[in-house]
Structure formats: C-alpha cells, structure tokens
Amino acid sequence: MAIQLDLTPAQEERLRNQAQQLGLSAEDLARLAVEDLLERPESEFSKAARYVIEKNRELYDRLG
C-alpha cells in the first residue's frame, strides 16, 4: 500500500532533519513510525489515533 502524506513545509523539514540524523530517508522514517504505531498494544494505538483525529478536527475547524 502506498500512502501520500500532506505535510506543512515545517513538518517536512523536521521529518527530513530527523531522518538525516538517523541516517534514513524521510520515507523510511515515516514508514518506521507507522510500523511502530501499528505494533503498539491496542489501547495505546487507540489513544494515539484519537489524539491524531482530535488534532486534525481542531485544524480543520480553524481552517474552515
């Protein structure tokens, strides 16, 4: 599965900087982050997913 992420320029820069510090490509770091999230126990995953959904809701409310 291929997923496209829409990041702000600041987020993209942070991702690239973190990846470079770890000796990875930005794409590999993003993939590893998703893998890590999916491997967490269900309760942790649900908590993280709810947090992301709420943050997105807040962003869309501000943009709308």
Q: pLDDT, tens digit, for every residue of 26-53?
A: 999 999 999 988 887 777 778 888 888 8
DSSP state of 40: S
Q: pLDDT, tens digit, for every residue of 12-31?
A: 999 999 999 999 999 999 99
Give me the number of domains the chain comprises.
1
Give me 38's structure tokens.
Answer: 């999916």
- Whole domain around residue 34: which residue ranges? 9-63
Residue 51 lies in a domain: yes
Give me 13's structure tokens.
Answer: 């820069």
Residue 31 lies in a domain: yes
- pTM, 2 dp: 0.62
- Please compute, for residue 26, the number of CA atoms within 13 A of its CA located in the half-sphere on the CB side: 10
Residue 3 lies in a domain: no
Q: List, as one string, the DSSP characters of 21-42.
A: HHT--HHHHHHHHHHHHHHS-H
The separation between CA 42 and the C-alpha centre of its own chain, rounded to angstroms, equals 18
Residue 1 lies in a domain: no
